[in-house]
């Protein structure tokens, strides 16, 4: 699949400010610094369309990117980069706004067709487990992406994915994907999963 264009559209907090255009949307969820913005850049073949930082807490609002692809099934969509959860160093008032801001988006946005939950290949945290439970409770079936997989030797990758499946209680192992924004490993598999999700969202049952 070719990316024909990828543009940052806007950054916002309130539903009234979300883009008016009704395109399918893909949201990226995960703890701070896990690599959400990097994964967006990698999927879009862009170096820095989404801002990346070594310091957790870089993304603080909902950031919408309009994406056009050569794919017949999923030719256009918004990617939505969300702030990370569990960022303890953000000020209290900021943290108090993030929860409701993310929850409002995930519960109210009718055109949200896929949620990608990123977790770190170097280990899950309790927060990751509760987030998956929460997303499931909200009616989403997240695509779990185990990122920074390049930090593990080849031999440790499959056991790591199996461990993530087990800890998160995901029965179908194919629903947990290894990913590296550094080497683009897993990029095609994630695009395939997004396309599949979109199709089953569009034609439920
Ligand atoms: N080696 C490696 N490093 C990565 C990968 N993905 C992200 N990183 C690094 O991890 C750090 C955080 O990446 P971001 O993409 O900013 O993470 P984020 O989840 O958007 O963080 P917040 O916006 O703070 O929630 C940066 O230093 C990235 O270069 C990956 O797949 N492999
Ligand atoms: Mg970010």
Q: Is the CB of 57 under 6 A from ligand 1?
A: yes
C-alpha 203 to ligand 2 mean position (Å)? 31
Six-digit token string for 11: 């950054």
C-alpha 51 to ligand 1 mean position (Å)? 10
pLDDT mean by block of 10 residues, the chain; 205 residues: 95 94 96 93 94 80 96 96 70 68 92 96 90 91 96 95 92 86 97 95 87
Q: Residue 205's pLDDT is what?
A: 76
Q: Residue 56's pLDDT is what?
A: 76
Pocket test for ligand 1, best of 53, 125, 157, 190 (most atoms within 8 A of CB): 53
Atom number in ligand 1 closest to CA 147:
31
As beta bridge partners, residue 129 has none
Backbone angles phi, psi at 10, to 5 degrees: -165, 165
Q: Residue 37's pLDDT is what?
A: 93
Q: What is the pTM of this model?
A: 0.94
As beta bridge partners, residue 62 has 12
Radius of gyration from C-alpha coordinates of the chain = 16
Q: Residue 88's pLDDT is what?
A: 53
Q: Residue 93's pLDDT is what?
A: 62
Q: Output the residue whose Cα is nearest ligand 1's atom 6.
A: 35
Close Cβ partners of 186 (under 8 Å, ≥ 6 residues apart) = 145, 149, 177, 178, 179, 180
Domain boundaries, the chain: 3-200
Atom number in ligand 1 closest to CA 40:
15
Neighbours of ion ligand 2 (CB under 5 A): 36-37, 58-59
Q: Does domain 3-200 have CATH number 3.40.50.300?
A: yes
User: If DSSP codes are grouped into helix, strand and coil, which group holds residue 170?
Assistant: coil
Which contacts (CB < 8 Å, 24+ apart) does range 173-177 have?
175/143, 175/144, 176/144, 176/145, 176/146, 177/143, 177/144, 177/145, 177/146
């Amino acid at each position: 699949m070719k990316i024909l264009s990828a543009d940052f559209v806007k950054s916002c907090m309130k539903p009234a400010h979300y883009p008016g255009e009704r395109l399918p949307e893909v949201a990226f969820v995960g703890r701070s610094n896990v690599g959400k913005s990097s994964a967006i850049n990698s999927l879009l073949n862009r170096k820095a369309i989404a801002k990346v930082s070594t310091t957790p807490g870089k993304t603080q609002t909902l950031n919408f990117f309009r994406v056009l692809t050569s794919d017949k099934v999923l030719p256009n969509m918004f990617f939505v980069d969300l702030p990370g959860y569990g960022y303890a160093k953000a000020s209290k008032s900021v943290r108090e706004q993030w929860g409701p801001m993310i929850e409002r988006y995930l519960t109210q946005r009718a055109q949200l067709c896929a949620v990608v939950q990123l977790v770190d290949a170097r280990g899950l945290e309790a927060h990751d487990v509760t987030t998956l439970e929460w997303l499931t409770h909200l009616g989403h079936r997240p695509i779990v992406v185990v990122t920074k997989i390049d930090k593990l030797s080849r031999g440790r990758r499959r056991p790591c994915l199996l461990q993530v499946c087990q800890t998160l209680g995901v029965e179908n192992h194919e629903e947990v994907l290894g990913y590296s924004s550094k080497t683009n490993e897993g990029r095609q598999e994630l695009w395939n999963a997004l396309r599949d999700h979109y199709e089953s969202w569009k034609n439920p049952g």
